[in-house]
Chain A
Amino acid sequence: MMVDVQKMEQLADNLAAQEEVVGRSLFADARRRFFKNKAAVVSLILLCGVFLFSTFGHMIAVWSNEEIDWGILGQIAELGAPSIENGHYFGADELGRDLFARVVQGTQISLMVGIIGALIAVVVGTLYGAIAGYSGGKVDNVMMRIVDILQSIPYMFVLILLLVVFGRSIFMLFVGIGLISWLDMSRIARGQTLTLKNKEFVEAAIATGVKPITIILRHIVPNLLGVVVVYSTLLVPQMILTESFISFLGLGVQEPNTSWGAMIAEGAGTMQYGTLWQLAFPMFFFIITLFSFFFIGDGLRDALDPKDR
């Protein structure tokens, strides 16, 4: 049988020229899946936009959030509409303050409450759950019963009670939201810890004499990260919702501070005078942000969930 030497050599060259197959890490795989999800990517871009708006918004604002535009006071419905000429890009509120600057301020506070609330939940909940799950036995039982008891308390009412008793401030809001938000997180972390603690690497750590607290911090917690990240993207909108709920009732942040909930309440109170922009702009940012967080959370869950491969 004749062999076409030239063709064989060419084939060999082709093969040699081909690059080695590059291995894909778990993270790269997840990232690829995440970026294939169009809704999640669009949400990420929108969310970045909201973040940029809240950080740099005050630089393009003509008015500050406390200045009163005396020229339009009393005629907000006629003169206070959104316009480029007088610098009120989003219009003005019923006190003549610039709504653009107010929305920037409200966005900052709402996002801050959401993110800090979620951070408290993540740190406390993960540690609590990991400790309960790792300890097992009686300690686990008692710790989880405490979570059960706390979970069946109507937290919205207790939160309002706290705010009234200790005075309304952003700090109290953080404490109140932080007190309740870690409960679900601790359950999730505990469940994951229970499956992790019988793995070989934990056994190896125990065998080499590592202290339990170090095992939890160095070996268990890093392995919980995937679940924690997904859950915390879903927690942020929940925290924002809680804060807005409280502020809508007038029990949350106080003037001159503001937040989306407080602004929506203001807008809802004045909409019969025809100043619809007061309702529309805060609501727009509120809805956009919640949407984005939900879609990003969904996208992350799909990307990180090994079941769906």
Chain B
Amino acid sequence: MLSYILRRVAIAIPTLLLLIIISFLLMHAAPGGPFTSERPLPPAVLANIEAKYGLNSPIYVQIINYIGGIITEFDFGPSFKYKDRSVNDIIAHGFPVTLTYGFLSFAVAVIVGGALGIAAALKQNSWLDYFAVGVSIGAQVLPNFVMAPILVLVFTLWLGWLPGGGWNDGQWNHLILPVIALSTSYMASVARLTRSSMLEVLHTNFIRTAMAKGLPYKVIIFKHALKPALLPVMSYLGPAFVSMITGSVIIDMYFSTGGIGQFYVNSALNRDYAVMMGITILIGGLTILFNLIVDILYAWVDPKIRY
């Protein structure tokens, strides 16, 4: 087990380094530096600014300094566009918002999707089953950028029940539409996965044995069937959680939540490379971390896996 964890960590670290180096080199390959504007600055001023941001040293020194800054002080450097704040400030400001949406949507997707999937599997070929299957097929083609305008159209413009955007310090009615828009397609996937793996488990021999033994139905479902049925779902949840944070770029933009995705797209439109790089590395690190956690959990829960 320990060697498996060590091996996975050994892959994770170079991956992260590679990501940092790729984004760093990409940023430097960009035509036009971050300080080019319509009015060209005098060369002396430009040289001074570049010296301040450390852009005049050779590129490998810059990379080492950057990585060193991240490791020792968790410092992603200054923003190139906003003079008064660093990338850290922007992340500290936007990340809690994004995390709130991510966690809420994750919870909704897992709880509603899981319950729908299990219920559909237990009552196979009933109207509930057809409903669950129908919803999961429908939601597959309704990604969050299609869901968001539809929801705003119905609940904000037509019915006027809920606000169509803003964060407002996380007031509950501002959270509802973004969370629904973000969680729908994941909920559908969870429901579909749970349903099919539950059905598979219900047809195995050990469940039939339990039935024949006369165990109460509840015990069979919750004690024997649920755990093996949730294993394939679990391996989906790690990547799903990460893509919920990533997918919230759309939600942040569309609902102007002030989350990290909004800063990301704005910095992409403004060519503020430092912010883009910082956020890319942060999300990359999270992706790698969550995949690691899920793989380790999976190996721990599933006795059949040999590592």
Chain A residues within 8 Å of B, Cβ to Cβ? 145, 148-149, 152-154, 156-158, 160-167, 237, 241, 244-245, 248-251, 261, 264-265, 267-268, 271-272, 276, 279, 283, 286-287, 290-291, 294
- Indicate if B201 sits at the interface (CB-CB under 8 A): no
- Taking CB atoms, residues of chain A closer than 8 Å to B291 are 152
* Contact status B254-A245, CB under 8 Å: no
Cα separation A248 to B148 with both chains bound (whole Å): 12
- Taking CB atoms, residues of chain A closer than 8 Å to B15 are 148-149, 152-153
* Contact status B250-A248, CB under 8 Å: yes
- Indicate if B23 sits at the interface (CB-CB under 8 A): yes
Cα separation A162 to B230 with both chains bound (whole Å): 38
CB closest chain-A residue, reference B280: A157
Q: List 14 extra interface pairs beyond A158-B23, A251-B265, CB under 8 A.
A: A153-B22, A154-B287, A157-B283, A157-B284, A158-B280, A160-B265, A161-B23, A164-B30, A165-B29, A249-B268, A268-B152, A271-B149, A291-B137, A294-B140
Contact of B271 among A164, A245, A267, A286 (CB under 8 A): A164
* Contact status B250-A153, CB under 8 Å: no
Cα separation A161 to B291 with both chains bound (whole Å): 22
A-contact 0/1 string along B278-306, CB 8 Å cutoff: 01100110011001000000000000000
Cα separation A154 to B284 with both chains bound (whole Å): 5
Q: Main SS of chain A's interface residues?
A: helix
CB closest chain-A residue, reference B19: A153
CB closest chain-B residue, reference A153: B19
Given A265-B145, A268-B254, A271-B157: A250 touches B269 (CB 8 Å cut-off): yes
CB closest chain-A residue, reference B271: A164
Contact of A153 among B254, B269, B284 (CB under 8 A): B284
Cα separation A161 to B271 with both chains bound (whole Å): 9
**Min C-beta distance of A265 to chain B, whole Å:** 7
- Taking CB atoms, residues of chain A closer than 8 Å to B26 are 161-162, 165
A-contact 0/1 string along B244-256, CB 8 Å cutoff: 0010011001100
- B: number of interface residues (CB 8 Å): 46
* Contact status A154-B11, CB under 8 Å: no
* Contact status B280-A154, CB under 8 Å: yes
- Taking CB atoms, residues of chain B closer than 8 Å to A149 are 11, 14-15, 18
* Contact status B246-A264, CB under 8 Å: no
- Taking CB atoms, residues of chain B closer than 8 Å to A264 are 145-146, 149
Contact of B141 among A152, A153, A251, A294 (CB under 8 A): A294
- Indicate if B90 sits at the interface (CB-CB under 8 A): no
- Indicate if B231 sits at the interface (CB-CB under 8 A): no
Q: Main SS of chain B's interface residues?
A: helix
* Contact status A267-B149, CB under 8 Å: yes
- Taking CB atoms, residues of chain B closer than 8 Å to A148 are 11, 15
CB closest chain-B residue, reference A267: B149
**Min C-beta distance of B98 to chain A, whole Å:** 13
* Contact status A283-B146, CB under 8 Å: yes
* Contact status A249-B249, CB under 8 Å: yes
- Taking CB atoms, residues of chain B closer than 8 Å to A162 are 26
17 cross-chain CB contacts under 8 A = A149-B18, A152-B15, A153-B18, A156-B249, A157-B283, A160-B264, A161-B26, A161-B276, A164-B30, A164-B276, A165-B273, A166-B30, A249-B265, A250-B265, A264-B146, A279-B149, A291-B137
- Indicate if B143 sits at the interface (CB-CB under 8 A): yes
- Taking CB atoms, residues of chain A closer than 8 Å to B19 are 153, 158
CB closest chain-B residue, reference A250: B269
* Contact status B149-A160, CB under 8 Å: no
- Taking CB atoms, residues of chain B closer than 8 Å to A279 are 149, 153
- Taking CB atoms, residues of chain A closer than 8 Å to B29 are 165-166
- Taking CB atoms, residues of chain B closer than 8 Å to A271 are 149, 152-153, 157
Cα separation A156 to B279 with both chains bound (whole Å): 12
Cα separation A261 to B254 with both chains bound (whole Å): 13
- Taking CB atoms, residues of chain A closer than 8 Å to B137 are 291, 294
* Contact status B283-A245, CB under 8 Å: no
- Taking CB atoms, residues of chain A closer than 8 Å to B12 are 152
Cα separation A271 to B23 with both chains bound (whole Å): 37
- Indicate if B242 sits at the interface (CB-CB under 8 A): yes
**Min C-beta distance of A114 to chain B, whole Å:** 13
* Contact status A156-B148, CB under 8 Å: no
- Taking CB atoms, residues of chain A closer than 8 Å to B149 are 264, 267-268, 271, 279
CB closest chain-A residue, reference B26: A165
**Min C-beta distance of B245 to chain A, whole Å:** 9
- Indicate if B111 sits at the interface (CB-CB under 8 A): no
**Min C-beta distance of A210 to chain B, whole Å:** 36
- Indicate if B27 sits at the interface (CB-CB under 8 A): yes
Contact of B279 among A157, A163, A276, A291 (CB under 8 A): A157
- Taking CB atoms, residues of chain B closer than 8 Å to A268 are 145, 148-149, 152, 254
* Contact status B264-A165, CB under 8 Å: no
CB closest chain-B residue, reference A163: B268
* Contact status B146-A286, CB under 8 Å: yes
**Min C-beta distance of A149 to chain B, whole Å:** 5
* Contact status B11-A160, CB under 8 Å: no
